[in-house]
Structure 1
């Protein structure tokens, strides 16, 4: 679906990314599967160390990417660590290619995989004499307080969002566009500051999408519009393009369109595309 520069694409995201022009997207947000162990049906890839390979990683090490064939490939994709990183790596390589010179990438993940994902992204962003670790800008903690509480350990009530920039020194960061939040101790800062509020830090307190609220689309992994609007407004400019190639319910698309940006939403799930077509119809 494509009208007015906004697109919803039903496709395998690796294929869709391969058809996009290099440097054509100013902001990428992805919320991939969280390696939960649930069966997923998608092609399996693996990255193999190979000095003759066509991909260069951290420290100059070289790799090649292969599609898994045979009996394993015929089965559903298992969300296990080795497969997860092997699945994500070629997609993030393509994401790096389509990202503009001053663009940002946000990788939304959970506590079980964030450290593996960061090492992988450090390698992907190591190009042209730039160390990927320098392209890493922040690990944002999205904290919420909803759902069951474990009695055996501290309950996990946060997600991790890794922010990388293609250029470690030149990128969009419009802090003045950010929403403001209340001071925790307003009496200590005076009435004027308390009324104005403060800009957030790298810990974002924001409720999940209410199961009974107007924002709910019925899509299981839907993320709050407020979190995506903050990313879009601060890390892109009006008229630029926002890409989400694990688009799900299309929250990134709505955040982009509401704030004068274009969007490209990609998902291989027909149900997700149906949800997005309903949700984003007025922007298409």
Structure 2
């Protein structure tokens, strides 16, 4: 199998994200929900919001959650060469000094540990863009195993999230999409495309023939391999691997929190509905503005959310507390936690 190689591969250097703007690693702090939360059916379960560095958090979670996480979504730094924050408060550094080796060396052990946390029937969605997605795909093929047939574990889709936004370029085609890599740990995994379909409607699609019934209802027919297939207006069409129906968050979007790299809830709703069940355990170790735990809570999934940024943890915690009227929270509390407290 092909393998991606970079400087210092396999060596644990302790480098943190942003490279040249690395600061002291934050203490590990655990924020949990009341154990009597009505969201989850598992007795004694508390959702976990953890502030700290993934190099500390993920190994600490392994003893209890090895092979237990049903769905992982991560939206790590893209190696943009920028820093992100709000009102003079740094969210995270994504500079890297144009050093792809440092970036890959930082991300590789994180992905290895996430693979260990993933349940045998689990799925992972990794959200990147044009800068590093091709490198990381080869890295994931190494970790999950390369399967060109796609009938076992490993690569399933390269999802293109195409969005409309301002800005044009003169010297190359304008870049208007992100890449979401979809991998599974085995060939036995949760996937429900019927939950995320779009109503077919009366619009002509492909080369189908329109049929108007006696009551005026429109249906569509197409013949394939000698068989005639008929679809009504209410038939659901599952999305392909190009998602252009979900907009990015505009400046005045009511969802916006002010967190620079916030993703829309519709994006996470699609992923969680397709690849998890109620009470499944969902994890996001780059939770940013808190979209993943918010959506997981709404869809009645258990969750673990982590981030190194104090701004991200504050934003997420505030959003969760603001949703107490809409979702069945009991209360939130914080505590200082050592590794042994993660259980």
Normalising by structure 1, we get a TM-score of 0.80
Deviation at 1:15, TM superposition (A): 1.2
Q: Indicate whether 1:103 and 2:122 are aligned.
A: yes
Change in CA separation of 1:23 and 1:220 when aligned onto 2, cut-off 3 Å? same
Mapping of residues 173-212 of structure 1, within 5 Å: 173-180=191-198, 185-186=203-204, 190=210, 191-192=218-219, 193-205=232-244, 206-212=246-252
User: What value does the CA root-mean-square deviation take over the aligned residues?
Assistant: 2.1
Whether the 8 Å CA contact 2:199–2:234 is kept in 1: the answer is: no
Q: Please state which structure has a larger fraction of its residues in helix.
A: 1
Match in the other structure for 1:46:
none
Contact 2:197 2:236 in 1 (8 A): no
Unpaired stretches in structure 2, ≥5 consecutive residues:
1-30, 36-45, 85-94, 211-217, 220-231, 333-343
Once residues 248 and 260 of structure 1 are traced to their aligned partners in structure 2, the CA distance between those partners, rounded to angstroms, is 20
Q: Give, in angstroms, the shift of residue 101 of structure 1.
A: 0.6
Alpha-carbon distance in structure 1 between the residues aligned to 2:96 and 2:114: 21
Q: Which residue of 1 aligns with 2:275?
A: 235
Instruction: Give 5+ residue unaligned stretches, structure 1.
Output: 41-75
* Cα pair 2:277 2:301 within 8 Å, conserved: yes
Would the aligned equivalents of 2:55 and 2:110 in 1 still touch at CA under 8 Å?
A: yes
User: Contact between 2:123 and 2:185, CA under 8 Å: does it hold in 1?
Assistant: yes
Q: CA deviation at 1:184?
A: 10
Counterpart in the other structure of 1:38 = 82
Q: Indicate how the Cα distance of structure 1 residues 132 and 30 shifts in structure 2: closer, same or farther if over 3 A, else same.
A: farther
Answer yes or no: is 1:141 the counterpart of 2:160: yes
Aligned-residue offset at 1:242: 0.8
Query: 2:8 — aligned with what?
Result: none
1:15-69 deviation per Cα after TM superposition (whole angstroms, max 9, x unaligned)? 11111121121000000111112369xxxxxxxxxxxxxxxxxxxxxxxxxxxxx
TM-aligned CA deviation for residue 7 of structure 1 = 1.4
The answer to whether structure 1 residue 19 and structure 2 residue 38 are counterparts is: no
Provide the TM-score with structure 2 as the length reference.
Answer: 0.67
Deviations 1:88-113 (A, max 9, x none): 00000000000001000001000121
